[in-house]
Copies of this chain bind each other. A is one copy, B any other.
């Protein structure tokens, strides 16, 4: 099982925290090598610890007094970083903004999606598992390329409805009527080769998870421009594929959560049951909306 295995102590040992001026709440995990690039930038402060040369410095955004001003500064910095070509990650520029929140849940600033892993801020997504149950055999089968999207500042459910139409051609009324909110899956994604761009970056993430049970004749279809087809997989096929490491790490976690909620993984057949259920729901360290 490829869940992240960093302890909180590991994280403290390997990372800075991002902050904004006048607000002592850490907002993201910044790798020391990334933080160094900010040392002489006017809008940022990289504070070396006074007493301990080996301690990791802290990165603070010192410009801007409101969300709009801070967002403008962050955008300027990200654009500059992009121009330098220093980060492969930024070649995936999306022109899509992610919100970052403070401890009082106030909106602190927005940041370009592609740049967010450099700052290690919380990211948010929605994931729906579409499944059906055979009328005859009652067997549960899963449409194994679930609709997947990202919430910007829209409501998770509205994001889901939009993405289900775009990515799986599911009719809005089917989704609005049949979808059930089933919790969240939260974790720290240690970005590897499969994520694209620099590896080792830490991405704390919250996936809002939804289930949609459909009739046997409902077939999700990829939207325009999408190549990968949906297939109707048995639970056993999904399990074997997961065990072969064929799923993106975070999508694998969402599927494990589905298995737990549907009594497919149980205390009787999964020796790591308690640990898995806890770790699918990691308490995120940084403020959430």
Interface residues of A (CB under 8 A from B): 155-157, 180-184, 186, 206, 208, 260-263, 265-268, 273-275, 277-284, 288-289
> A180 — nearest CB in chain B belongs to which residue?
B263
Identify A281's interface contact among B182, B206, B265, B281, CB under 8 A: B281
Report Cα–Cα, A156/B271, bound state, in Å: 12
Report Cα–Cα, A277/B282, bound state, in Å: 9
B268 touches A182 (CB 8 A): no
Identify A288's interface contact among B156, B180, B274, B284, CB under 8 A: B274
With A157-B268, A208-B267, A268-B157 known to touch, is A182 a contact of B260 (CB < 8 Å)? Answer: yes
> Quick one: copies of this chain in the complex?
2
**By DSSP majority rule, is chain A's interface helix, strand, loop, or mixed?**
mixed
A208 shortest CB reach to chain B, Å: 6
Identify A184's interface contact among B180, B262, B278, CB under 8 A: B278
A281 touches B284 (CB 8 A): no
Besides the known contacts A155-B268, A181-B265, A183-B277, 16 further A-B residue pairs in the complex with CB atoms under 8 A apart: A156-B268, A157-B266, A157-B268, A180-B263, A181-B266, A181-B267, A181-B268, A182-B261, A184-B273, A186-B277, A206-B274, A208-B267, A274-B288, A277-B281, A278-B283, A282-B283
> A262 — nearest CB in chain B belongs to which residue?
B180
With A280-B281, A283-B282 known to touch, is A186 a contact of B268 (CB < 8 Å)? Answer: no
Chain B residues whose C-beta falls within 8 Å of the C-beta of A261 in the assembled complex:
182-183, 261
B186 touches A278 (CB 8 A): yes
A165 shortest CB reach to chain B, Å: 19
A157 touches B275 (CB 8 A): no
Chain B residues whose C-beta falls within 8 Å of the C-beta of A156 in the assembled complex:
267-268
Chain B residues whose C-beta falls within 8 Å of the C-beta of A263 in the assembled complex:
180-182
> A283 — nearest CB in chain B belongs to which residue?
B278
Chain B residues whose C-beta falls within 8 Å of the C-beta of A275 in the assembled complex:
283, 288
A135 shortest CB reach to chain B, Å: 19
B183 touches A260 (CB 8 A): yes
A235 shortest CB reach to chain B, Å: 14
> A281 — nearest CB in chain B belongs to which residue?
B281
Chain B residues whose C-beta falls within 8 Å of the C-beta of A183 in the assembled complex:
260-261, 277
Report Cα–Cα, A288/B282, bound state, in Å: 17
A261 shortest CB reach to chain B, Å: 6
Report Cα–Cα, A124/B38, bound state, in Å: 49
Most buried by B among A156, A261, A284, A289: A261
Closest 4 CB pairs of A and B: A281-B281, A180-B263, A181-B266, A278-B283
Chain B residues whose C-beta falls within 8 Å of the C-beta of A155 in the assembled complex:
267-268
> A181 — nearest CB in chain B belongs to which residue?
B266
Enumerate 29 A-B pairs (CB-CB under 8 Å) in ascending A order. Answer: A155-B267, A156-B267, A156-B268, A157-B266, A180-B263, A181-B260, A181-B265, A181-B267, A182-B260, A182-B261, A183-B260, A183-B277, A184-B273, A184-B274, A184-B277, A184-B278, A186-B274, A208-B267, A261-B261, A274-B284, A274-B289, A275-B283, A275-B288, A277-B281, A278-B282, A278-B283, A278-B284, A281-B281, A283-B283
